[in-house]
Amino acid sequence: MAKNRELVIAVHGGAGFKKAKKGQLDCIEEVIRTGISILRDGGSGLDAVEKMIILMEDSGLFNAGSGSHLQMDGAARMDASIMEGKDLMAGAVASVSGIANPIACARLIMDKSLHIMLAGEGARRFGAHYNLRELRSIDKEGLKAVKRSLDSGGDQARLYKSVYGCETVGAVAIDLEGNIAAGSSTGGFSPMLPGRVGDSPIIGGGTYADNRGCAVSMTGLGEKIIRCSVAKEISTFSELGDSVSIAAGKAIMRLLKRIDGRAGAITLNRDGEYCLIHSTDFMVGGFIKGKKMAVADQFKRVL
Ligand code: GLY
């Protein structure tokens, strides 16, 4: 184990069109400090990513876990995925209700089942089998926002822009073994038909990690991100020789130019190169690399 390897973490709490609140920035700072202490103690990148996302899901400050948006029938159905870059192992949950930490369920699916993804009631029962905490209450503001947005009419992207500032949480990390990992978790966006699934549980869509390329967690409108397989594309560009920043910039520009999709990404490769990049006005997130740490709601903006 390379004890002197420089540990790096990047985290996001969603890209969007509104400035982050102080509570969100404070939460991200705490999340990063927790993650880095896991890595310093020899925990894996997967352990750090899972724990950091659990903290954001539990905070209620982001659109994930207890802060999830509600679907049009008033239910929270959440998506999450996690992946590691050494053996390309991955786990995901789609459209799951009733569990507090979808990312923990995704990790269990990866570790304990023969599958990659479980959905809906099957995912909930799988989580319950492993005694995952139940999600009991959800902020009803999400439902009010859905109703407001339904009244306003117009296309999906414009509704999304008008209603919500930030969406989706995610994390990437490299551990002392030099393995990278990525994870994402979301309550979707608004308005959503019951059963809608976004990019966050799609391996290669919203999450990807390959030691030969890079780790990626996406944020933005899933309906656009899935169609361009953005997370995998960033990792592939990186494997083919681009820096993670160039790779992410190219993929995010392609998403914008090809199908008018705006998004944000965090990326990290085995050399510890990372970036936080977005084509939205804001993206709340942060990183730590050695002694350098920053938390903000704007990073590298493309276009
Ligand atoms: N990026 C999260 C979603 O569209 O569901």
pLDDT tens for 117-154 read 999 999 999 999 999 999 875 545 544 554 554 455 44
Tokens of 92: 């995901």
Going residue by residue through the chain (303 aa), what tens digit of pLDDT does each one get? Answer: 566 789 999 999 999 988 999 999 999 999 999 999 999 999 999 999 999 999 999 999 999 999 998 888 888 999 999 999 999 999 999 999 999 999 999 999 999 999 999 999 999 999 999 999 998 755 455 445 545 544 554 455 554 444 445 579 999 999 999 999 999 999 998 788 999 999 999 999 999 999 999 999 999 999 999 999 999 999 999 999 999 999 999 999 999 999 999 999 999 999 999 999 999 999 999 999 988 999 999 999 997
* Contacts for 272 with CB less than 8 Å, ≥ 6 apart: 5, 6, 8, 174, 289
CA 191 to chain centroid, in Å, comes to 19
Catalytic one of 168, 207, 219, 280: 168
Q: 168 CB less than 6 Å from ligand 1?
A: yes
Query: Most distant CA pair in the chain: distance in Å?
Result: 57
Q: Ligand 1 test: best mutation among 200, 218, 224, 266, most atoms within 8 Å of CB?
A: 200
* Tokens of residue 17, six digits: 């069109």
Angle at 202 between CA 201 and CA 207, to 5 degrees: 85
Q: What is the pTM of this model?
A: 0.92
Q: pLDDT digits over 224-238, tens only?
A: 999 999 999 999 999
In short, whether 68's Cβ falls inside 6 Å of ligand 1 is no
Task: Decide if 187 contacts 63 (C-beta within 8 A).
Answer: yes
The verdict on whether 207 is a catalytic residue reads no
